[in-house]
Amino acid sequence: MGKYILRRFWQSIITVLIVLFVMFMLLRLMPKENYFTRDDYINMTEEDRTAYLRNLGVLDNPFVQFFKFIRGFVTGDLGRSITVYPKTPITEILKEKIPYSLWFGLVSVLLSVVLGFLMGISMANNKDKLADQLGTIYVVAVRAIPSLVYLFLIQMWVTHIFNLPMVFYEDEPASWILPAISLSLSGIAWYAIWLRRFMVDEENKDYIKFAIAKGLPRSYVMKRHVLRNALVPLVQYLPSQILLTIAGSLIIESIYSIPGMGGLLVYAIRQQDNTLVQALVCIYSILGVFGVFIGDILMAIVDPRIKLTSAKVEREVTA
Amino acid sequence: MKTKDFITIDAIDTTPKTHGDILIEARDVEVIFNLRGRKLKALRRAGLELRSGETMTVVGESGSGKSVLSKTLIGMLDKNGKITGGSIIYRGVDLVKVTDEQDWLAIRGKRIAMIFQDPMTALNPLKKIGEQIREVIVLHRGLDAMASRIAALDMLVKVGITDPERRYEQYPHEFSGGMRQRVVIATAIACNPEILICDEPTTALDVTIQAQILDLIKKLQKDMGLSVLFITHDLGVVAKMADRIAVMYAGQVVEEGTVEDVFYDARHPYTWALLASLPQLGIKGKELFAIKGTPPSLFKEIQGDAFAPRNPFALEVDFYHEPPMFEVSSTHRARTWYLDPRAPKVEPPEVVVRLREHLKQTTGR
Amino acid sequence: MKQVPVLGPELFVPAQAGAGEEEQIGYEHYSYWRSTFRTFLKNPVSVVLLTIIILLTAVSFVYPVLSGTDPNKVALDVERWNLSPEQGGGIFGTDQLGRDIWARTWYGTRTSLLLGFIIALLDVGIGMIAGALWGYVKKLDRIMTEIYNILTNIPQTVLLLLLSYILRPGFWTIIIALCSTGWIGIARFVRNKVLMIRDSEYNIASRTLGTPLMRIITKNILPYLVSILIMEAALTIPYSIGAEVFLGFIGLGLPLDTVSLGNLVNMGKNNFLLYPYQLTWPTLVLALVTVSFYIAGNKFADASDPRNHV
């Protein structure tokens, strides 16, 4: 087991480096003007600009830049923001922003998992009946309609109906509720539909038929065999889902004015703050890879069939 | 979990049976499947008798309905299938009429147990095999954790698994096919059922392992007084296991009798054809016998004797009227017009006659 | 059914030879496409959705041709600005520059559908070729699997953002961004199918019987691929519209003068409190489009799975 973990860990590190490299190189395609604020660009002379860029390290060979970036990354230096918080070290900015994203992220994940599982189980148990159909309507609505649409409408209507604040204030507890719930909506749909699918798949397997032939009651079989076995493939995707409530958080943090990492990224893009965008994008990428890594480890722990030195675990591409 | 709550079939007659008493009497069972919008009649008035302490083998080709018949005995027809006629009387209860899942809980595992063909997929891959045996014991015999574990270990020993303590903690993928089938058998008999249905349990196994499993089943039958319904397409297995035989063709039981009845005195042309196709009866240099043609489509209504089109010695009447069951003796029955007093005398093919000689020599029966 | 003679002793004679009767087997002709469409159309929901989709697509492509209304025409008369339908602004009203929202909605739907179709086509096209090569050429397997692992590790949203940030936001940027990770899923699917075909026993059996390779391809591979294409196209549409809306929100979407559902929604959002109709109508159409394609796509995916042809 330890060997497997170590192997996957190194694979992840390499994947991270490759991903960061790709991201980094893509960013290098950026036209140089974007490193300046408009005023600065106009006011500085060509020489000053060149000097500034050289200082930033942007004029060096891309590979050298990448190396320096990685080195900085590992030592905790992510560069400085250019336009959003000029000259402020990014690590400091992040220190302030991360707690909010973290809090909302964790809470929404908890809600998603609990509610999603309950819904998924109920849907699987009542396959094709009312509960299943209602659940399907919910899932379809959340997955087909762009999240911005329903999140925005929720912000407009639900706050009106329940008299909740539309903007997030740290001191106002009521303003914490709606963003957290909104953030969990797509997660609920995701967990519900996947758990239902896995459970339905398990139900059709031979050993379930044998379990029933043994005389075990259906409810017992659903709980102790179907559900338990269906959770196993699900476990693999759990961590990456947890780490990646990004798209939702970008929108939520923006529309509710929550000072978190997602909102920061949106703002950084709008303000064209290259270094900040770069740092954030890299962090999100690392989270992504890390999530997959933890997922594989969890799966190996939970599934006894995966032996210690087994080959790569095949991963399905999930939307 | 207490199973006592689930026993709602109070009608079950629980008087102990003596050897030879009829346990299950199935008559005129009809089963229809809904397939891609069309109806398939899988069982066309099939019937048989299972007697206490005996092994009844059901023989037939794929599609003859033998699996379907066995599934009706524990209420596990596929979702698109329905029993549309007939009766299956077990201890005073007509199993055809049992539709409530709760009622079936009193029968499955406790009174009638079933093992399936493929041991590789019959066990939960993510659960220790000891647990899979124990959960049945807990449920049906109501023993506590410790006692049920001991009982489960006991079962493992009974089916011939060595080092049961260690094996108990292992997962199915750590067992070979034959061992898995033993575990499956252990699970099935864990609650001391009266009847064990074996649906081709050795088809997926090596020939050598096959013999072991068959021996095991016979031994368990003797030790536990089981009545076994054994489904197979292999006549060799039949010869080894059977006390009585039921031959099925196109959804019907065409001949039913003791081993001697069927092997020495077969009356139905299909049975002759089956016996004739045993390779052991082949004469060196001559072509092996094979039945011409294929079984009829069960989507269509069959007129007359289903086997007629493939029977070179068929009578005119075979194409128009379905033969009823004729009694040859108190133990022997066959569905063929040959047994009608109006029919001409038809001799079984010489191959069958040769079989009798062959059997007399090899088994001395 | 033959005429049934009476059951009398005269019937008990050997029968005349009935040639060929013994070979009547239960084979029914199975056509993959016929079964797929039958299974799909059996569900009334699918039929309704299919109709909606056809209608929506037809209207969005036909309307620009038939109607004279220019979606980009700014009204010079300020009175025409922000007129709701009740006030006489047209079927869906007018926006903050007096442009007709009804026209803009349909032009926008056309743009968004086009976007989705192109992405689906590219994804499937590239994916099929890549997947076929991946399956056939054994040497490629290792490197392709590595590429697959890496691409699936990159969070899609992040890549989308990044590419839109770097390249000029526009129609083709979104296409490139979405296609850059979409193709690998199809490639993997196709590769699995190719492996199955190469190594599956029924195909080896086919080949031993002398079936030419072309026939194997057309009968076994092609039906799958076409159904993937249809399924992908249907499911890509809600996804690409979602991406477009999302990017528009961040500021990296299609240029504001392009008429698309995403832009309509984002602009309508800004005026929601004052003129809610500017958001609600386009959003309704958007929801209708995305939900219909999503459900229909899933239903088609189910129907094209031969195991469901019961």
User: Residue B166: its pLDDT value, please?
Assistant: 92
pTM of the full structure:
0.79
Burial label for B135, CB within 10 Å (0-12, 13-18, 19+), is: buried
Structure tokens at C100: 């007709």
pLDDT at A315 over 50: no
Counting as contact any 3 or more CB pairs under 8 A, the partners of A are B, C
Task: Name the pLDDT band for A286 (thresholds 50, 70, 90).
Answer: confident
With CA atoms as reference, the chain B residue closest to A213 would be: B108
pLDDT at A133 over 50: yes
User: Residue A316: its pLDDT value, please?
Assistant: 38
User: Residue C217: its pLDDT value, please?
Assistant: 63
Model confidence pLDDT, tens digit, residues A245-282: 665 688 888 888 888 888 888 888 877 777 788 888 88
Given CB atoms, is C28 within the 8 Å cutoff of chain B?
yes
Structure tokens at C65: 């041709």
Of B35, B319, B343, the CB nearest to C12: B343
Average pLDDT of the residues in C178-205: 78
- Strand order in B112-115's β-sheet? B112-115, B195-199, B227-232, B55-60, B244-249, B252-258, B333-334, B326-327
Give the containing element (helix H, strand E) for B30.
Answer: strand B22-35
Given CB atoms, is B196 within the 8 Å cutoff of chain A?
no
User: Residue C219: its pLDDT value, please?
Assistant: 67
Alpha-carbon radius of gyration of chain A: 24
Model confidence pLDDT, tens digit, residues A193-204: 889 888 888 888
ipTM confidence = 0.83
CA-wise closest residue to C85 among C72, C74, C100, C96: C100
Average pLDDT of the residues in A106-123: 90
CA B365 – CA A12 distance, rounded (Å): 71
Which ranges constitute the DSSP H helices of chain B? 66-73, 101-104, 129-141, 145-158, 164-168, 177-189, 207-224, 235-241, 259-265, 269-276, 350-363
User: B-chain residues within 8 Å CB-CB of C37?
Assistant: none
The more confident residue out of B218 and C91 is B218
CA C158 – CA A245 distance, rounded (Å): 12
The more confident residue out of C122 and C18 is C122
Of A11, A140, A149, the CB nearest to C265: A149
Given CB atoms, is B342 within the 8 Å cutoff of chain C?
yes
The more confident residue out of B10 and C89 is C89
CA A247 – CA A127 distance, rounded (Å): 31
Given CB atoms, is A199 within the 8 Å cutoff of chain B?
no
Average pLDDT of the residues in A53-66: 71
User: Residue C23: its pLDDT value, please?
Assistant: 58
If chain B, 365 residues long, is cut into consecutive pieces of 10 residues, what is the mean pLDDT of each piece?
Answer: 43 73 89 86 91 92 88 89 91 86 87 90 90 89 86 92 91 90 93 91 87 92 91 87 92 92 88 82 74 83 86 84 90 90 81 75 64
pLDDT at C73 over 80: no
Dihedral over alpha carbons B274, B280, B286, B289 (to 10 degrees): 10
Given CB atoms, is B126 within the 8 Å cutoff of chain A?
yes
User: B-chain residues within 8 Å CB-CB of C4?
Assistant: 303, 320-321
Task: Name the pLDDT band for C22 (thresholds 50, 70, 90).
Answer: low
Counting as contact any 3 or more CB pairs under 8 A, the partners of B are A, C
pLDDT at C228 over 80: no
User: Residue B268: its pLDDT value, please?
Assistant: 92
The more confident residue out of C161 and A211 is A211
User: A-chain residues within 8 Å CB-CB of B121?
Assistant: 205-207
